[in-house]
Amino acid sequence: MSASLDVVSPGAAEQAEQFHPEPEQELLTMNFGPHHPATHGVLRLLCTLEGEVVRDLKPIIGYVHTGIEKTAEDKNYWQAIPVVERMDYLAYYFNAYAYCGAVERLLALEVPKYAQYLRVIHLELNRIKSHLVWLGTSALDLGAVSMFWYCFREREQVLDLFEMSSGARMHTRYIQVGGVADDIPPGWVDRCRTFTALMRRRADEYGALLNRNEIVLQRLRNVCIVPKERLLELGVTGPLLRAAGMPWDLRKADPYCSYEDFDFKIPVGTIGDNYDRFAVRLAEIYESCSIIDQAVDRLDDVEGGHIADDRKVALPPRHELATSMEALIHHFKLVTEGYRVPPGEAYFPIESPRGELGCFVRSDGSAKPARVHMRDPSFVNLQALADMVHGTYVADLIATLAMLDPVLGGIDR
Amino acid sequence: MPDATGLELIAQDLRDADAEAVLETLHFREQATIIVEPTKIGWVLERLRERGYSFLASVHGVDYYPEEPRLGMHYELLDMEAVDRIRVKLRVHTESPEVPSVTPEWPTADHQEREAYDMFGIVFTGHPDLRRILMPEDYEGYPQRRDFPVGGEPVLFTYNESQGADYTQ
């Protein structure tokens, strides 16, 4: 038994030397995940360690691949909305909007201003909610357990607002092609204002808890810096890019959905370490609150209904079904066959909580999309992880992964 | 987005430098598309980078079944200073689905080319690490192709793995 262990294949030593020139310590390959609470999902990382130092890292993904893009090809255009919503499960309004925006571009459909404002309000509430989940789980990774409960307390309030306006807390199917599913109910606006006022105060408290916390600062400051030039090469967008000092935000740079009407700032970092990534997201919560307040204030002044008036695309109002034969026919055709979309291709990028979320839709002229593809920011941003953690400690890997904010539902789709 | 004239100017510049690179241009719903010869993709992207389109926003595969050539690759380029987008598109046959990889010049394409390889079977020559990314490594077939059926395939659980069940039948 022991004799067989001593047998070493000829040239093995030379081979090992060739692959790892002069390791100071023996290199250890460690498997991290996929079922590990700090991976924020089912992400598997194959790390090569030299003692405590990460020398190489390869992300292995696909554990929650559910073929959503394939499923969407088998559905009518309107039936595909709830399917694509389930990709990035923290940013479902964004998924739905990217998809609907691409279909609207193919249809050359104009969305009423009022519907655009309702979309903005819900998108920004969703952004706050997504950042709260990120902040809570990231702080948990850094050892601040109580942050998790505080953040989920406010997240509940956002979910309550979603439940009020759409009937569902998650995967609401609120955004439709042409507008949104329904107008907001009475009392929603007041509740929304109360929430933004509270959220600002809570964000102050979060900042007070973490910004002067020596443990958090030591874990985040000057850790895992990647310059913005490298981030751009790797296609990184969103808060990670802004943290490195590049003020790139599609809401400002290439406004869609009436974002040009609102006055807001783009928080940027200075050096692009983990602390900047944290600070940028925390600052974005305030900006989102400000956008929501402005949109809610102007809701009474903007024109149009909650959905486009095109009966070939949008469902007719419920009350018309009892009195109008034409409305009934439209309703029947839309629900059974769906609407046909002119052949062509469209790419519709928006700024999701994690970066550029683009939806590519190809139509072949039928009632089902011929191809739906999401350029998910988590999927692309994950490529930067190896660069970020190269040469740092395993503990910093955990902190960096938390600050990367990957959502595996979006990565694997 | 460059307007229709701007797109033609870009295409003409590319044609002047290499007569065979650009096959067609397309302007649809304010989106500019250049359709290029598959072997010239690296060269075209490099010329567009010189024009300011320095950010490769997205790379995705498309199956144009039943049209031929069936498979397509799209490269969404972005000029962050002029806030301008342009799409470069190429088409290859399923018999020889080979496209030169742009990963060495555009590191962001790494995962996305692997995804296109995984889902459509497009082979990127020169890609440093072309493996399946979302599907299991021993998976057979390219699930995003239009002639790949939806559903009906057995799911591999631990209990049927020992019974010799496979991903595809």
Q: At residue A261, what are phi and psi to the nearest 5 degrees?
A: -75, -15
Q: In the prediction, which pLDDT does A4 show?
A: 41
Residue A17 has pLDDT above 70, yes or no: no
CA distances for B124 relative to A246, B37, B41, B136, angstroms:
31, 15, 11, 19
**B99: nearest Cα among B79, B77, B65, B123:** B123
Structure confidence by residue, pLDDT tens digits, A315-372: 888 888 889 999 999 999 999 988 899 999 999 999 999 999 999 999 998 999 999 9
Residue A90 has pLDDT above 70, yes or no: yes
Residue B169 has pLDDT above 50, yes or no: no
Q: In the prediction, which pLDDT does B2 show?
A: 72
Range of weakest confidence among A14-18, A186-190, A195-199, A256-260: A14-18
A269 within 8 A of A101, measured Cβ to Cβ: no
User: Across the interface, which of B108, B115, B133 has its CB nearest the CB of A235?
Assistant: B108
Residue A2 has pLDDT above 70, yes or no: no
Structure confidence by residue, pLDDT tens digits, A37-53: 777 788 899 999 888 88
Structure confidence by residue, pLDDT tens digits, B102-123: 999 999 999 999 999 999 999 9
A189 within 8 A of A295, measured Cβ to Cβ: no
Residue A79 has pLDDT above 60, yes or no: yes
Nearest C-alpha in B relative to A358: B58
Q: Residues A79-96: what's their mean pLDDT?
A: 92
3-state DSSP assignment of residue B167: coil
Band of residue A22 on the pLDDT scale cut at 50, 70, 90: low
Band of residue A3 on the pLDDT scale cut at 50, 70, 90: very low
- Please tell me if residue A383 touches chain B, with a CB cutoff of 8 Å: yes
Structure confidence by residue, pLDDT tens digits, A48-68: 988 888 888 999 998 889 889
Residue B165 has pLDDT above 70, yes or no: no
Q: Is A229 left (phi over 0), alpha (psi -120 to 50) or beta?
A: alpha
* CA–CA separation, B22 and B11 (whole Å): 7
In this structure, is the dihedral angle defined by the CA atoms of residues A402, A405, A408 and A411, taken in order, positive or negative?
A: negative
Q: Residues B138-145: what's their mean pLDDT?
A: 86
B31/A65 Cβ within 8 A: no
Task: Give B-chain residues touching A344 at CB under 8 angstroms.
Answer: 28-29
- Please tell me if residue A106 touches chain B, with a CB cutoff of 8 Å: yes
| Average pLDDT score over chain B | 85
DSSP A180: E
Structure confidence by residue, pLDDT tens digits, B9-54: 888 888 888 878 888 888 888 888 999 999 989 999 999 999 889 9
- Please tell me if residue A392 touches chain B, with a CB cutoff of 8 Å: no
Nearest C-alpha in A relative to B107: A234
Sketch the domain layout of chain A as residue ranges. Answer: 76-308+340-375
Q: At residue B162, what are phi and psi to the nearest 5 degrees?
A: -70, -20
Terminal C-alpha separation, chain A: 48
Residue A193 has pLDDT above 70, yes or no: yes
Band of residue B167 on the pLDDT scale cut at 50, 70, 90: low
**Residue A48: CA atoms inside 13 Å, Cβ hemisphere, count?**
13
Nearest C-alpha in B relative to A364: B64
B88 within 8 A of B44, measured Cβ to Cβ: yes
How far does the CA of residue A408 sit from the closest CA of chain B (Å)? Answer: 11
Quick one: tokens of B128? 């440093």
Structure confidence by residue, pLDDT tens digits, B153-164: 666 677 766 666
Task: Give A-chain residues touching B55 at CB under 8 angstroms.
Answer: 232, 235
Range list of β-strands (E), A22-133 = 27-32, 44-50, 53-60
- Please tell me if residue A65 touches chain B, with a CB cutoff of 8 Å: yes
Band of residue A6 on the pLDDT scale cut at 50, 70, 90: very low
Band of residue B63 on the pLDDT scale cut at 50, 70, 90: very high
**pTM attached to this predicted model:** 0.89
Q: In the prediction, which pLDDT does B55 show?
A: 92
Cis peptide bond upstream of B69, omega within 30: yes
Q: In the prediction, which pLDDT does A33 show?
A: 78
Structure confidence by residue, pLDDT tens digits, A203-244: 999 999 888 888 888 888 888 888 889 999 999 999 999 999
Band of residue B147 on the pLDDT scale cut at 50, 70, 90: confident
Interface of B with A (CB under 8 A): 28-29, 31, 33, 54-58, 60-63, 74, 76, 80, 83, 85, 87, 106-112, 115, 119, 132-136, 143-144, 146, 148, 150
Residue A7 has pLDDT above 60, yes or no: no
- Please tell me if residue A252 touches chain B, with a CB cutoff of 8 Å: no
Chain A, 286 to 345: residues with Cβ < 8 Å from chain B are: 344-345
Task: Give A-chain residues touching B57 at CB under 8 angstroms.
Answer: 235, 349, 356, 358, 375
In this structure, is the dihedral angle defined by the CA atoms of residues A250, A256, A257 and A261, taken in order, positive or negative?
A: positive
Higher pLDDT among residues B7 and B41, named by residue: B41
Q: What share of chain B is helix, strand, coil (3-state, %, to 5)?
A: 25, 25, 45
Q: Residues A109-128: what's their mean pLDDT?
A: 93
Higher pLDDT among residues A24 and A395, named by residue: A395
Task: Give B-chain residues touching A234 at CB under 8 angstroms.
Answer: 107-108
Q: In the prediction, which pLDDT does B67 show?
A: 86
* CA–CA separation, A91 and B135 (whole Å): 24
Q: Residues A369-379: what's their mean pLDDT?
A: 92
Higher pLDDT among residues A298 and A16, named by residue: A298
A353 within 8 A of A91, measured Cβ to Cβ: yes
DSSP A185: P
Residue A10 has pLDDT above 50, yes or no: no
User: Across the interface, which of B85, B110, B144 has its CB nearest the CB of A69?
Assistant: B144
**Domain A76-308+340-375 class, CATH top level:** mainly alpha
In this structure, the dihedral spanned by the alpha carbons of residues A393, A397, A403 and A409, taken in order and rounded to 10 degrees, is 180
